[in-house]
């Protein structure tokens, strides 16, 4: 077995972080290094899937559940509009291989794809 991911350790209370919302199979925290006025992470409780490609193939309902949670958070913490980013692979900036969605919201630059 590999080491538990940082997100599993947060979920299990081993690393301090506030869980700001959860559904049956996913939870949300604030990113420790925010790149936007609102920068949240939506994370499956299970670390089974390393990235969004594996998640979409293995459990599309869980991917839909994550998107629903992102939408609720964007309504609660910003005006409702949001950008959803799944970094996929190290060359794309993925550093934690426990799939997670970055939810960016609040006064984002128009036309930018950046996160």
Nearer to ligand AMP, 26 or 29 (CB): 29
Nearer to ligand AMP, 31 or 65 (CB): 31
Asked whether the beta carbons of 82 and 71 are under 8 A apart, the reply is yes
Residue 115 Cβ vs ligand AMP, minimum distance, rounded to whole Å: 8
- How far is 56 from 16, CA to CA, in rounded Å? 29
Q: In the complex, which residues of this chain contact ligand AMP (CB under 6 A)?
A: 6, 15, 17, 29, 31-33, 41, 87, 93-96
Residue 17 Cβ vs ligand AMP, minimum distance, rounded to whole Å: 5
Residue 100 Cβ vs ligand AMP, minimum distance, rounded to whole Å: 6
- How far is 90 from 88, CA to CA, in rounded Å? 7
Which of the following is catalytic: 39, 77, 98, 100? 100
Question: CA-based Rg of the chain, rounded to a whole angstrom?
Answer: 13
Nearer to ligand AMP, 74 or 85 (CB): 85
Active site residue 98: no
- How far is 34 from 30, CA to CA, in rounded Å? 8
- How far is 1 from 4, CA to CA, in rounded Å? 9
List active site positions.
100
């Amino acid at each position: 077995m590999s080491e538990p991911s940082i997100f599993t350790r947060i979920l299990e209370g081993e690393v301090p972080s506030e869980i700001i919302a959860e559904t049956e199979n996913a939870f949300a925290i604030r990113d420790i290094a925010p790149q936007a006025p609102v920068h949240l992470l939506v994370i499956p409780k299970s670390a089974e899937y390393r990235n969004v490609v594996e998640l979409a193939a293995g459990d599309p309902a869980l991917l839909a559940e994550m998107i629903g949670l992102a939408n609720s958070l964007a309504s609660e913490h910003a005006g409702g509009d949001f950008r959803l980013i799944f970094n996929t692979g190290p060359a794309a900036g993925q550093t934690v291989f426990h799939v997670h969605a970055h939810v960016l919201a609040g006064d984002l630059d128009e036309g930018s794809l950046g996160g």
